[in-house]
Amino acid sequence: MSTLVIVESPTKARTIRNFLPSTYRVEASMGHVRDLPSSAEEIPEAVKGEKWAQLGVNVEADFEPLYVIPKDKKKIVKELKDALKDATELILATDEDREGESISWHLLQILKPKVPIKRMVFHEITREAIRDALTHCRDIDNRVVQAQETRRILDRLVGYTLSPLLWKKIAWGLSAGRVQSVAVRLLVRRERERRAFRQGSYWDLKALLTPPTPPLGKGGQGGAFDAKLVTVGNVKVANGSDFDENTGQIIAGRRVLLLNEEQARALLSRIQNKPWTVGNIEERPVTRKPSPPFTTSTLQQEANRKLRLGARETMRIAQSLYERGFITYMRTDSVHLSEQAIAAARSCVQELYGSEYLSPQPRKYTTKSKGAQEAHEAIRPAGSTFRTPQQTGLDGIDFRLYDLIWKRTVASQMADSRQTHVTVLTQVEDAGFRSSGKRIDFPGFLRAYVEGSDDPNAALEDQEVILPALKVGDKPNCKDLEAVGHETQPPARYTEASLVKMLESEGVGRPSTYASIIGTIVDRGYAKLIANALIPTFTAFAVTTLLETHFPDLVDTGFTSRMEQTLDEIATGEAKWLPYLQKFYTGETGLATQVKEQESQIDAKVARTVVLENISAKVCIGKFGAYLESESEEGLVKASIPQDLTPADLDPEQVEFLLKQKTEGPEKLGLHPETGEPIYVLIGSYGPYVQLGEVSETNKKPKRASLPKGTDKDSVTLDMAVSLLTLPRLLGSHPETGAKVQANLGMYGPYVVHDQGKVGKDYRSIKPPDDVLTIELDRALELLSQPKAARGRSKSATPLKELGAHPESGELINVYDGRYGPYVKHGDINASLSKDESVENFTLQKALDLLAAKEAAGGGKSSSKSKKSTKTAAAKSETATEKTAAKKTTAKKTTTATKKTTAKKTATATTAKKTTKSS
């Protein structure tokens, strides 16, 4: 007989087993074992006829949730029940947050244990922490469970009530969410600001000055320094902050001097070669304190800035580090450090930097946010002593994220940084110039951690701007003076880091959910992540406009923030969950009432139309994406908008070109020198391309070639178009195999390929300065001889989500983050999740269907188990048959298999697409 301990994940279970006696059995629930039904097939037969069944919440019966055990969890539940039969005690050891408390409660409801039950909580997985947690077990906190259940029901009510409305009025498959829709609105509002932005321009002068006498000693105290024009005739010279973003003009009421190029150059000529005088010197001491240790949101922000990691990827890596015992729990709103952690951090400072770098007193941080309910500690290295990054044995991105957490934690206990900011004002005639310098008198915590920089020492050097020793009345020499033009810039788009920061500052959602929210926004097609910026799509504009017009509260940050506060109050017992749900959903101004009233008032044609300033044509949302619609003399004209074109970048010139392409035909570059056929430049759904000949009954699919990435359609010449239409280019034969070597343009850019037919194809990307149109065989062979860059992730990569065991092979099936998005893997078969599929809601059954579809379509090789079975069968067959017959059979089988494989390959795209849609 033993004690059964249940945690969420296999990784966590494996780590904890090492710290418990052999009488303890540790099993994983693989996350939630019960949830509201995600599809019609999950609804029990007994309630399928009920109106509320699709919603999964019986609104009329005090919002009673309908919980079901998903198919992919039934086997896990059975295994846990079997394990419980041999146990004398049950310990529920899920995470100590709302989600973890809820998982434990659901386990209790399903397993119905007849043995003593304990709730064990910890926020780091070390031997000391686990042993200590065993002696301080508690009961399940029903108030926290109730708060989580209310949150889940609330999210379901919003999503399942508004999403069908969006399907009817805009497009099928769209989704709305309590926090998701607010986040999308933030992106759209910023993009509207960018469209409304009007650029302003201004000029000033920049001088390079040197002290009147050369610096003394070895290098002196500084040499040449910059000075910038700030006043003329005691009037401030305009800079970027003085412009109105909506007009491109100086803000009304500002008394500033706006210089144009002519005026700036005239001023330069007037003061050229005139004497300069130091009029004033100001030194201002500044003390900087270290930032608090990481919370979930600040870790996501800094990992995005420093490591270029998305919020979802950051949380995946942090989860893995936590489960393997390297860091404390990674979902926390708290900046608090335990006494043990403070001692460990101070010990690191003492040992690595010396006592002068320690803060005089231990720094204790407190969380200001009222909703900081994940109240354990900040994210820090695990244990009573901190392993340095080099001592962990970690590598790659795991190492870099741990290094970030370690540095931030250690720096939080270091001394203040002391700096001196120096300002020197110089005068030449009536023009005033300013020079700014910064001296780091004592680096303090900056020796270990500088925000936004991986190398503190290099960052310290970059931060210092040393001015030479000057005094009032000195006459510096002007070595160079130039006029500089500037243009104001539109508001920056949100990155994942800045969106997380905005959501947290507005009190919208909880930091532990931001990663999945941003992932959903991208997965659902509301935004594209390009160069680390979140760019909203036309669909996002349409959905946001509909919600702003008809359901303004639901996309209001203040309203959503107050919802969060109420949910927090339910967790502490300050508010009652049932009255709140009743008021929110079924009250006079409740969501259900609003939807019923507003649905008839929403014109679907208007809802699908996006209004953009300065665009005469209508932008509409269609089944296959956004398109333009315009009235002409010939009637209504429609033209697809390229998928990579965003609302902020659509201008009248592009609209005119796309419509003209439809009405007057494509732009003709010239005639092909060999065939005499016309060559056109067109823009399609996937961007600009060239086309040989016209589409006709006899030429339904004329030869086309996409333009290389970054090539503007206006820069395409006839020679370039002819060259592009020759792709793929045959470069010659491979000297070792005799197989052809080609250069071509693919979906992910230019490449060379060594095509050995049935043996396979070997690809290498073509990078600048090499060009797909000019690369020769020798260079291609050189590229092909280089090791292939690793694609995807190794088998040991940490999964985004663990789904469960394959019912036949027993192998674990997980969701991984691949180069082209999330995918599931079984044996040698990889299957990508569809764009509208959320990782969080993806189940084992969906994975099995997807993998089956991929295998049926000829994708991937058979699993290891299948290979083994095939070999065994072949061996038995050969033993029972004459060798000659076996050879013939084998040959026949090989031929048949080859034919089947070829047939499958031909049908792969269509079959896979249909099967995936069906599943």
Instruction: Report yes or no: 163 and 546 within 8 Å, Cβ to Cβ.
Output: no
- Give me 567's structure tokens: 């949910």
The share of the chain scoring above pLDDT 70, in percent, equals: 86
CA 643 – CA 904 distance, rounded (Å): 30
Supply the pLDDT for residue 881: 37
CA 40 – CA 900 distance, rounded (Å): 36
Report whether pLDDT(508) > 60. yes
- Give me 809's structure tokens: 């092979």
The share of the chain scoring above pLDDT 90, in percent, equals: 54
Supply the pLDDT for residue 839: 73
Instruction: Report yes or no: 89 and 4 within 8 Å, Cβ to Cβ.
Output: yes
Supply the pLDDT for residue 856: 62
Supply the pLDDT for residue 863: 38
CA 63 – CA 585 distance, rounded (Å): 10
Supply the pLDDT for residue 287: 95
Q: Which of 299-313, 683-697, 738-752 holds the top average pLDDT?
A: 299-313
User: DSSP string of 614-677?
Assistant: T--SEEEEETTEEEEEEEETTEEEEEEPPTT--GGG--HHHHHHHHHHHHT-PEEEEE-TTT--
Give residue-wise pLDDT tens across range 112-136.
999 999 999 998 999 999 999 999 9
Instruction: Report yes or no: 433 and 228 within 8 Å, Cβ to Cβ.
Output: yes
Task: State the average pLDDT over residues 232-259.
Answer: 93
Give residue-wise pLDDT tens across range 283-319.
999 999 999 999 999 999 999 989 989 898 999 999 9
Beta bridge partners of 472: none
Rounded CA Rg of the chain:
33
SS3 for 365-430, per residue?
CCCCCCCCCCCCCCECECCCCCCCHHHCCCCHHHHHHHHHHHHHHHHCCECCEEEEEEEEEEEECC
Strand order in the sheet with 761-765: 729-733, 740-746, 749-755, 761-765
Catalytic positions, written as ranges: 329
The closest alpha carbon to 430, from 274, 238, 619, belongs to 274
Give residue-wise pLDDT tens across range 579-637.
999 999 998 889 999 999 999 999 999 999 998 888 888 999 988 889 999 887 778 88
Supply the pLDDT for residue 368: 67
Task: State the average pLDDT over residues 440-465.
Answer: 72
Indicate the residue type of 899.
Answer: K
- Name the pLDDT band for 456 (thresholds 50, 70, 90): low
Task: State the average pLDDT over residues 894-918.
Answer: 38
Report whether pLDDT(722) > 70. yes
User: DSSP string of 862-880?
Assistant: PPHHHHHHHHHHHHHHHHH
Which of 347-356, 671-680, 769-778, 783-792 shows the lowest mean pLDDT across its residues? 783-792
Give residue-wise pLDDT tens across range 524-546.
889 998 888 999 999 999 999 99
Supply the pLDDT for residue 409: 96
Positive or negative CA dihedral for 778, 781, 785, 786? positive
Instruction: Report yes or no: 416 and 444 within 8 Å, Cβ to Cβ.
Output: yes
Give residue-wise pLDDT tens across range 813-850.
888 876 556 788 877 788 887 756 767 668 787 888 78
Instruction: Report yes or no: 69 and 34 within 8 Å, Cβ to Cβ.
Output: yes
- The verdict on pTM exceeding 0.85 is no
- Name the pLDDT band for 460 (thresholds 50, 70, 90): low
Give helix 883-918 / helix 844-856 axis angle, nearest 10°: 130
CA 601 – CA 595 distance, rounded (Å): 10
Supply the pLDDT for residue 808: 67
- Name the pLDDT band for 690 (thresholds 50, 70, 90): confident
Task: State the average pLDDT over residues 383-388.
Answer: 93
- Give me 153's structure tokens: 């029901």
> Phi and psi (nearest 5°) for 745?
-105, 130
CA 629 – CA 655 distance, rounded (Å): 10
Q: Tell me the average pLDDT of the chain.
A: 84
In terms of residues, how long is the chain?
A: 919
Helix/strand/coil for 528? strand
Long-range CB contacts for residues 225-230, cutoff 8 Å, separation at least 24:
225/424, 225/435, 225/437, 225/467, 225/468, 226/435, 227/424, 227/426, 227/433, 227/434, 227/435, 228/204, 228/433, 228/434, 228/435, 229/204, 229/205, 229/267, 229/431, 229/432, 229/433, 230/432, 230/433, 230/434
Report whether pLDDT(910) > 70. no
Give residue-wise pLDDT tens across range 242-251.
999 888 999 9
For residue 264, CA distances in Å to 228, 267, 431, 629 come to 13, 5, 11, 47
Task: State the average pLDDT over residues 872-879.
Answer: 37
Give residue-wise pLDDT tens across range 630-665.
887 778 888 888 877 888 788 888 888 888 877 766
Q: What angle is formed at CA 613 by the lines to CA 607 and CA 617, rounded to 5 degrees?
A: 65
Report whether pLDDT(913) > 80. no
Give residue-wise pLDDT tens across range 44-101.
999 988 989 999 999 999 999 999 999 989 999 999 999 999 999 999 999 988 889 9
CA 791 – CA 797 distance, rounded (Å): 12
Supply the pLDDT for residue 461: 58
23, exposed or middle or buried, with CB in 10 Å at 0-12, 13-18, 19+? exposed
Supply the pLDDT for residue 372: 52
Supply the pLDDT for residue 339: 92
Give residue-wise pLDDT tens across range 6-26.
999 888 999 999 999 999 999
